[in-house]
Amino acid sequence: MKYVVVGGAGFIGSNLVDKLIENKNEVTIIDNFTTGKKSNLNPKASVLELDVSNISNYDKIVHSMRGADTVFMLAAKARVQPSIENPLEYEINNTIGTLNILKCASDAKVRRFVYSASSSAYGDSKKLPLKENFDANPMSPYGAQKFYGEVMCKVFAKVYQIQTVSLRYFNVYGERQNIDGAYALVMGIFIYQRLNNQPMTINGDGEQRRDFTYVGDVVSANILASSSENVGNGEVINIGNGDNRSVNQIAEMIGGPKINLDPILEPNETLADNSLAKKLLNWEPTQKIEDWVKKYKKEIGLD
Ligand SMILES: NC(=O)c1ccc[n+]([C@@H]2O[C@H](COP(=O)([O-])OP(=O)(O)OC[C@H]3O[C@@H](n4cnc5c(N)ncnc54)[C@H](O)[C@@H]3O)[C@@H](O)[C@H]2O)c1
């Protein structure tokens, strides 16, 4: 089977590409390498280097998608705080990029479109666990842009001949997670700091909690979403572990000195209700974060 992974040089996308190739599929990666890395590329994949938010790339993108069963859309500028600093740059990249890829996939007669959505659509809900039927209430440009992608996926399933499904990931961690600079998430930042003998910087009191989800589980959710007969009408599905840890607990798992900085504007707690993923995709998380961190620390010499 042929698949296109847009954003396939990134953290989650490159793990998905590897699994699709391991399963003997043909894969085309589209990426502009803003945060993606050449070192993440699977040598068996074809690569098209271009910016998907530039609509003049339409012909090249449609051509690369012809004959594909599914397009997996992972390309985005994928961080909350930088989106607050550069809302317009993020807007063009994330909303036009998603719309352009939806249009190209539909015009190339691709059967299904699997969209990487985000738990940031929920904002700071006091009601937990978070269920897909809660109102979206994003608290950053990034969260609003990711939510818009879901809305467009629903529109395309209704109006055009393409099946769509949106997967709302909760804080993803695992192999190839970003550990550099502004693009890293909390675990990546702490690991970078420890590797560089710096204290781990905690925003606020560190009691904010996140539902950390393993990248291998996110990959399997994508593959199930591509093949399941229960989806295709723009469904929105939480992909989260269904438990959570505080930032202080993550720091303790990594171990070492820490300092507290001023709090930032962020949700106090995220926690996924993942029963819809079980029902529609037969998906269940498999990884305990403590086990993974222990193994990873050994691998990178932090033990
Ligand atoms: N990592 C998480 O915890 C998380 C949580 C929720 C949702 N998501 C979503 O999952 C997807 C993948 O995230 P990630 O953590 O792997 O991020 P990442 O930054 O590692 O990967 C994104 C990839 O998209 C590429 N890209 C960005 N803009 C592009 C453009 N205009 N044209 C072509 N390529 C472009 C980047 O170069 C990179 O390879 C994103 O859509 C993100 O919003 C991630």
Domains and CATH numbers, the chain: 2-172+213-239 (3.40.50.720), 173-211+243-269+288-300 (3.90.25.10)
The tokens describing 78, both together, are 């994928």
Spatial CB neighbours of 265, under 8 Å, sequence gap ≥ 6: 84, 139, 140
Residue nearest to atom 42 of ligand 1 (CA): 78
For residue 215, give the amino acid letter.
V
Ligand 1 probe mutation, 18, 29, 35, most atoms within 8 A of CB: 35
Question: Residues with beta carbon inside 6 Å of ligand 1?
Answer: 7, 9-13, 31-36, 51-53, 74-78, 93, 97, 116, 118, 146, 169, 171-172, 178, 185
169 is catalytic: no
| Phi, psi angle pair for 108, to nearest 5° | -85, 5
**pLDDT for residue 181:** 65
CA dihedral for 199, 202, 207, 212, sign (positive or negative): negative
CA-closest candidate to residue 71, choices 37, 106, 117, 43: 106
The SS3 assignment for 255 reads: coil
**pLDDT for residue 303:** 80
Task: Give the count of alpha carbons within 13 A of 47, CB side only.
Answer: 20
| Alpha carbon separation from 186 to 117, 139, 208, 238, 278 (Å, rounded) | 19, 18, 11, 20, 27
For residue 137, give the amino acid letter.
N
Residue of 142, 148, 169, 183 marked catalytic: 142
pTM higher than the cut 0.85: yes
CA distance 151 to 154: 5
Render 50-76 in DSSP notation, one character per residue.
Answer: --TT-GGGHHHHHHHHTT-SEEEE--S
Q: Mean pLDDT per 10-residue run, the chain (303 residues)?
A: 98 98 98 97 98 98 98 96 96 98 98 98 97 97 98 98 98 93 82 94 96 98 98 98 97 96 94 98 98 95 86
